[in-house]
Chains A and B, each alone.
Chain A
Amino acid sequence: MHTLEIRDLVVALTETPDKPIVKGVSLTIKSGEVHAVMGPNGTGKSTLSKAIAGHPDYTITSGDVFLDGKSVLEMEPDERARAGIFLAFQYPSEIPGVSIANFLRAAVQARLGEGEDLDAVAYYKNLYAKMDMLKIDRKFTSRAVNEGFSGGEKKRCEILQMAMLEPSFALMDETDSGLDIDALKIVAEGVNQLRGPKLGVLLITHYQRLLNHIVPDYVHVMYDGRIVKSGDKNLAIELEAKGYDWVKDIAVPAMS
Chain B
Amino acid sequence: MTASASTLPQWWLDTRAAAWDRYNAAPAPSRADERWRFSDVAGITLDGLAIEPAALSDSEILALKTKAQGALSPFRATLKHAASLSFINNRLSHSASLPGELTAKGVIFCPIEEAIEKYPQHIQTYLQKHDVALGSEKFTALNTALTTSGALLYVPKNVVVELPLILEHIATDDDACVYPHTLVILEDNARATLIEYFASAEPGARHFASGVNDLHAGAGAQLTYIGAQSWSSNTLAFQTNSIVAQRDARVTSLNVHLGGRQARHESHSRLQGPGAHSEMLALTIATGAQQFDQRTLQTHQAPHTSSNLLYKNALLDTAKTIFSGLIIVEPDAQKTDAYQSNRNLMLSDAAESNSLPGLEIQANDVRCTHGATSARIPAEQEFYLQSRGIDPAQAHELLVAGFFEEVLNKLENEELHAVLASLLQTKFKK
Contact = CB atoms under 8 A, between A and B. Distances in A.
Interface string A102-115: 11001100110000
A78 B401 contact: no
A184 interface: no
Q: Which of A55, A78, A102, A110 has the most CB of B within 10 A?
A: A78
A107 B381 contact: no
Contacts of B381: 93-95
Q: Which of A76, A87, A98 has the most CB of B within 10 A?
A: A98
A69 interface: no
Contacts, number: 84
A236 to B, nearest CB: 27
Main secondary structure of the interface of B (DSSP, over half): helix
A93 B404 contact: no
A89 interface: yes
Contacts of A55: 383, 387
A77 B386 contact: yes
Contacts of B394: 106, 110
Interface in A142-198: 144, 161, 165
A54 B392 CA distance: 14
A53 B405 contact: no
A82 interface: yes
B384 A92 contact: yes
Given A78-B392, A110-B389, A110-B390, A97 B401 contact: yes
Interface residues of B, number: 24
B365 interface: no
A107 B388 contact: yes
Given A97-B405, A97-B406, A165-B389, A106 B383 contact: no
Contact of B379 (A56, A82, A87, A102): A56
B384 A144 contact: no
B389 A78 contact: yes
B388 A96 contact: no
Interface string A55-86: 11100000000000000000011100110001
Interface string B391-428: 11011001101111110000000000000000000000
Contact of B390 (A56, A87, A106): A106
Contacts of B48: none
Interface of B: 378-381, 383-392, 394-395, 398-399, 401-406
22 contacts: A53-B387, A76-B386, A76-B391, A76-B392, A77-B383, A77-B387, A78-B389, A78-B390, A78-B392, A78-B395, A82-B389, A93-B383, A94-B381, A96-B403, A97-B406, A98-B398, A98-B399, A98-B401, A103-B388, A106-B394, A110-B390, A165-B389
Given A78-B386, A78-B390, 17 more contacts: A55-B383, A56-B379, A77-B387, A78-B388, A82-B389, A89-B384, A93-B384, A94-B381, A95-B398, A96-B403, A97-B405, A98-B398, A106-B385, A106-B398, A110-B390, A161-B388, A165-B389
